[in-house]
Amino acid sequence: MPDLPNEVICHIVDLVDCLKTLWTLLTVSHRMSLFAIASLYRDLTFDSRYSPSAGFRPLTHANALEKLARTAKYNKSLLLTTSFTVFRFISPQAKNESINSILPFLPNLRRLSITMPFVGPETLKLVPQGAQLTHLVVQDTVYSHDFVQFLEDHPTLTNIEIGGYCISEPLTLSVSPTALPRLRSLACPLGLAPKLGRPSVTDLKIVNTSREGHYIAIPEELAHELVVVFPSLRSVHFADPIHFRSAASLISLLPDVVHLQLYQPSVRYLPLNSRSTPD
């Protein structure tokens, strides 16, 4: 092992995809532990959907997040973190306070994904302004001046996914036309799309457009607005039920679109003998 160059050890550790094995490597040697720590901290994921190894308590992810939050201020290994993911916890122990204590100490963050019931702009703005953020995923937030300022502070964003939003007061503020020049992929509710539209966006996904079981129609005025802010679209995906004529009308105005995906609701088929027939 002492004869192996650092490049080889780094490559070996990068091939390890088992968290338990990485923890074991920490005890092999001081040299090996340095590479293991780098691998452990590069992608920090706290996801309650995936059960940890046998013998771990169900709240392991929540406990680990809280422990990291308590030591974040003094944890220099967070300088290695480029991806930070938190998925919604059933446990009430996992709150935004833990995330708020960690984000300010991730100056090299590239990918941020927080899938919890609500993530306020004040939490997002804790990401260091100098972080070269490229990917952002949030479940629900507030479209506000603070949220717009956060986006404009991170012009390196290439992918944005917003599951839902609310507006606490009447707001017509849009992101600056010169902001987010590298944005390529956008997923957001229909009402938010015109505000975030960029000429650089080639992939658009519309989410939460309608109530469950109800198809939504795109107003003609909104369709023309979408065409103006998304002139380079190549792919459009409607993740919820959409009125077919509305979709067809919008796509007809976007000549460069080559891929269209519509939501297909499940259909319950009745046995032939139970279907009503005309008299």
Per-residue pLDDT of 88-111, as tens digits, reads 755 544 457 889 999 999 999 999
Dmax of the chain from CA atoms?
A: 88
Residue 139 CA from chain centroid, whole number: 8
Which helix (H) or strand (E) segment holds residue 21: the answer is helix 19-25
Task: Report how far residue 129's alpha carbon sits from residue 148's, in angstroms, rounded to the nearest whole number.
Answer: 13
Helix (H) or strand (E) holding 129: none
**Range from 71-85, 153-167, 264-278 carrying the lowest mean pLDDT:** 264-278
pLDDT of 166: 86
Structure tokens of 4? 């192996």
Of all residues in the chain, what percent carry a pLDDT higher than 70? Answer: 71
pLDDT at 278 over 50: no
Is 255's pLDDT higher than 70? yes
Instruction: Give the pLDDT band (50/70/90) at residue 3.
Output: low
Q: Is the pLDDT of residue 67 over 50?
A: yes
Residue 82: the pLDDT is: 94
Residue 257, pLDDT > 90, answer: yes
- d(C-alpha 7, C-alpha 5), whole Å: 5
pLDDT for position 15: 53
User: Which range among 34-43, 141-150, 239-248 shows the weakest confidence by mean pLDDT?
Assistant: 34-43
Residue 147 to residue 152: CA distance in whole angstroms: 9
Confidence of residue 181 (pLDDT cuts 50, 70, 90): very high
Per-residue pLDDT, 276: 44
Does residue 12 have a pLDDT over 50? Answer: yes
- Where is pLDDT greater, at 226 or 279? 226
| pLDDT grade for 8, boundaries at 50, 70 and 90 | low
Checking if the pLDDT of 54 tops 80, the result is no
Mean pLDDT in residue range 46-52? 66
Distance CA 85, CA 83 (A): 7
Q: Which CATH class is domain 47-183?
A: alpha beta
* 209-234 mean pLDDT: 83
Tokens describing residue 64: 């680990």
Structure-block tokens of residue 36? 């293991």
CA gap 276, 279 in Å, rounded: 9
Helix, strand, coil percentages, rounded to 5, for the chain: 35, 20, 50
> Average of pLDDT values for 40-44?
84
Residue 33 pLDDT exceeds 70: no
- When mean pLDDT is compared over 148-152, 244-248, 273-277, the highest value belongs to 148-152
- Calculate the alpha carbon distances from 189 to 5, 52, 176 in Å: 50, 33, 19
Query: Which of 133-142, 146-155, 166-175 has the lowest average pLDDT?
Result: 166-175
Return the higher-pLDDT residue of 190 and 156: 156
Mean pLDDT taken over the chain: 80
- Look up residue 273 and give its two tokens: 């003998």
Quote the tokens at residue 196: 């975030």
pLDDT of residue 246: 83
Burial class (CB in 10 A: 0-12, 13-18, 19+), 33: middle
- The end-to-end CA distance of the chain, in Å, is 84
